[in-house]
Structure 1
Amino acid sequence: MTNNEADRACLPESPALPGHSGSLSWMDGESPINAFGRALQNRFGGRIQRVSIDAGFTCPNVDGAVAKGGCNFCDNRSFSPSRRVRLQQVKTQLLSGIQTVRERYKKVSGFIAYFQPATNTYAPVEQLREVFELALGLNDEIQDEIVGLAIGTRPDCVPESVLSLIEELASQSYVSVEYGMQTIHDASLVWMNRAHSHADMINAIDRSRGRGFEICAHVILGIPGESHAMMMETAIEIGVLGFDAIKLHNLYAVRGTPLGEEVLSGQTKMMDRDEYVRTVVDFLERIPPQVIVERISGDAPSDFLIEPKWCLEKSSLRLSIEAEFAKRGTRQGSQYQPPGLPPEKRPVPADKTPASIREQIDRRGRLPVLKMQDR
């Protein structure tokens, strides 16, 4: 029996997942993780690239629906290339992004329209339908190269009307919904000014599961006040709730944000590189082996970034994480323990979307957005 076969023999059977059919085929390769690029290649038969789109939406912790000021770490210009320039129509952004990717990579089989900045389900449903269908409908102009959508949002912004729309789109195309979970610890969410609790995340995923779209968790490591044990509790929750994919993101500080001011003043310090490497490996060892790992670190343009500077060295950071796995002789899922109640058996709860958010989403008309060109 090979080492890979022995690893598989110790793993529990898992239900099929919409993003990758529960496949453990990645374990036949040398990578210690179920990497996003390979998962997309297996699904679509070639290289797939995401193209960031800014539909101009805001967030409920910015406009006052649940809070004001936004997340303490967030300047969307630093997170999203599309928000570093004056906004253009969704169509123009997507076509321009596709052209940029084509110039960088010789062979690209398809593109995912990635609605990235702000909260991309926080608008009247018909407005959401308009922008999502516009992105998918561009296949008529670019020869069926758009293979699906990725939608970044908050767990308190998916009332039933939104989930029904996404389920409808997912019946026709690949769709991934990326929830900003960040952590399971409510004190940390308060520190971030997220203005939602982990109970909102549980409610969202328990209502999202089984609708045909991929469910991705965005998690931040290195939050001040969180111990290693607390971060591992978040890792275990990935399997308990049954996410299909995960993005890991080191906390970093950018200029013009409350967190940036705390770091510049010395009030808050960022996790150091070696500790981050070990924590990522510890985290990934505890999540299910079939979960797709879409990202293992985050960064910002150097003119925005304050700390940590090491996050700009993405290639060497990835190599260090792989080396740590090799040193330990482990891989993703090596310490995973399946929950007593399988995720697919969890009951579907009532929709607990806050009334102030539901009023914005379920009303007629259009939610004001940032000014776009040619609109």
Structure 2
Amino acid sequence: MHLEPDFDAPEAWISEGLPFNAFGKTLRRRFGGRIQRVSIDAGFTCPNVDGAVTRGGCNFCDNRSFSPSRRVRLQQVHQQLTSGIVTVRERYSKVAGFIAYFQPATNTYAPVEQLREVYELALSINDQPEFHDLIVGMAIGTRPDCVPESVLALIEELAAKSYVSLEFGMQTIHDDGLRWMNRAHTHADMINAIDRSRGRGFEMCGHVILGIPGETHAMMMETATEVGRLGFDAIKLHNLYAVRGTPLGDQVLAGQIEMMGRQDYVQTVVDFLERIPPSVVVERISGDAPSDFLIEPKWCLEKSSLRLDIEGEFAKRGSRQGSHFVAPDQPPSDRPVPSDQTPDSIRQMIEKRGRLPVLKMEP
């Protein structure tokens, strides 16, 4: 179900006295119980890794630290999903359903018919008696320059049958920051992608990184304002953190870059959430990595106390998500649909090349 932001609608989370529109509570309301994501690594790569737009990947990226599925030997999609469900059930006694989360790398970066097979394979787990109807939907992580019309049409088709969230790595609206990361796309790509995705029946989530070197507080608030202007359904906030074996990690170890401090991060998250629409679902408010990968900041490992600090800051201010939101002059639903600006080099890899043998599908 697509959630078009309604700036005048009362929000359930507000009536519950919550400081922000938390993801877990939203899923409980939507599906009637606890919903857990299971990370899947289908073997995708990225266009800033394989040379389609550049090489080297993002300077902060070691997917082993971001995704549990890349810390073990890759299994087939089916095996990853079923074993993940079993593991979560052992940890939590009451789970109503699961979201198949295609997380590492760029999960729309493959021939379209192969994408169809991978996505439908995940949803087909519901056909097995022991997992009947446990998969309530999918989340698909991607880049804004990797969603040509053929891909969006496929995701729209799947969203007509199941919950689907398309998660864009926006990171920041500032192109200097995107260049520093070696993203090899611009914010114009993000605008083009979301304006073409709107109204297709799937959820649009934006991933944002706070604490990018060179970005001031005012610049991060400009990114917050853009969330409302473009009409994201959901947002993920991550603190920039450095892990071993990455260019960023090397710079932090050399003393060339410092990570944002804990209190600064708490203040920035609350400032950010105060400026986005109350309808936007907040899927994450921080990021972390396993302690054996993580260099800095160490405080991001303290997820529970960090969340309490953020909630406490809202209480101290007497504010909540959306308290300082200013609706854009043009509602997102009125924004025109632009032409597809997917780079030709990426389009060729998605629409012209043959099947990829590396994708972890069933034989």
TM-score (norm 1): 0.94
Residue among 282, 300, 305 paired with 1:293? 282
Q: Is the 8 A contact 1:360 1:367 kept in 2?
A: no
Separation of aligned partners in 2, 1:240 and 1:206 = 11
Give the letter aligned to residue 180 of structure 1: G
Give the letter aligned to residue 220 of structure 1: I
Q: Is the 8 A contact 1:19 1:213 kept in 2?
A: no
Name the counterpart of 1:8.
Answer: none
- 1:194-250 Cα shifts (integer Å, max 9, x gaps): 000000000000000000000000000000000000000000000000000000000
Give the letter aligned to residue 222 of structure 1: G
Q: Are 2:125 and 1:138 aligned?
A: yes
Q: Is the 8 A contact 2:5 2:231 kept in 1?
A: no
Residue among 310, 321, 329 paired with 2:318? 329
Q: CA deviation at 1:286?
A: 0.1
Q: CA deviation at 1:28?
A: 0.9
Q: CA deviation at 1:366?
A: 1.2
Name the counterpart of 1:202.
Answer: 191
Structure 1 runs, 4 residues or longer, greater than 2 Å off: 18-23, 367-370, 372-375
Name the counterpart of 2:46.
Answer: 59
Quick one: structure 1 residues 18 and 343, their matched pair in 2 at CA, closer, same or farther if it must change by over 3 Å? closer
Q: Is the 8 A contact 1:20 1:43 kept in 2?
A: no
Give the letter aligned to residue 153 of structure 1: T
Q: CA deviation at 1:181?
A: 0.1
User: Secondary structure of 2:168's partner?
Assistant: strand
Show the 5 A alignment for 1:8-87. Answer: 17=3, 24-87=11-74
User: Secondary structure of 2:27's partner?
Assistant: helix
Q: CA deviation at 1:367?
A: 2.8
Show the 5 A alignment for 1:205-284. Answer: 205-284=194-273
Q: Note the aligned Cα RMSD (angstroms).
A: 1.5
Separation of aligned partners in 2, 1:18 and 1:145 = 26
Name the counterpart of 1:96.
Answer: 83
Separation of aligned partners in 2, 1:20 and 1:47 = 25
Quick one: structure 1 residues 129 and 373, their matched pair in 2 at CA, closer, same or farther if it must change by over 3 Å? closer
Separation of aligned partners in 2, 1:340 and 1:366 = 45
User: Secondary structure of 2:348's partner?
Assistant: helix
Name the counterpart of 2:112.
Answer: 125
- 1:330-357 Cα shifts (integer Å, max 9, x gaps): 0000000000000000000000000000
TM-score (norm 2): 0.97
Q: Is the 8 A contact 1:122 1:157 kept in 2?
A: yes
Q: Are 2:325 and 1:313 aligned?
A: no
Separation of aligned partners in 2, 1:60 and 1:33 = 35
**More deviation, 140-149/361-370:** 361-370
Separation of aligned partners in 1, 2:341 and 2:160 = 25
Q: CA deviation at 1:17?
A: 1.5
- 1:283-338 Cα shifts (integer Å, max 9, x gaps): 00000001000000000000000000000000000000000000000000000000
Residue among 332, 338, 341 paired with 1:343? 332
User: Secondary structure of 1:330's partner?
Assistant: coil
Q: CA deviation at 1:30?
A: 2.6
Q: Is the 8 A contact 1:18 1:212 kept in 2?
A: no
User: Secondary structure of 1:55's partner?
Assistant: coil
User: Secondary structure of 2:199's partner?
Assistant: coil
Q: Is the 8 A contact 2:5 2:279 kept in 1?
A: no
Q: Which runs of 5+ in 2 are unaligned?
A: none
Q: Which runs of 5+ in 1 are unaligned?
A: 1-15
Quick one: structure 1 residues 293 and 212, their matched pair in 2 at CA, closer, same or farther if it must change by over 3 Å? same
Name the counterpart of 1:167.
Answer: 156
Q: Is the 8 A contact 1:287 1:332 kept in 2?
A: yes
Separation of aligned partners in 1, 2:97 and 2:6 = 17
Separation of aligned partners in 1, 2:332 and 2:142 = 21
User: Secondary structure of 1:282's partner?
Assistant: helix
Q: Is the 8 A contact 2:269 2:310 kept in 1?
A: yes
Separation of aligned partners in 2, 1:367 and 1:373 = 10
Q: CA deviation at 1:23?
A: 5.9
Separation of aligned partners in 2, 1:109 and 1:139 = 13
Q: CA deviation at 1:29?
A: 1.3
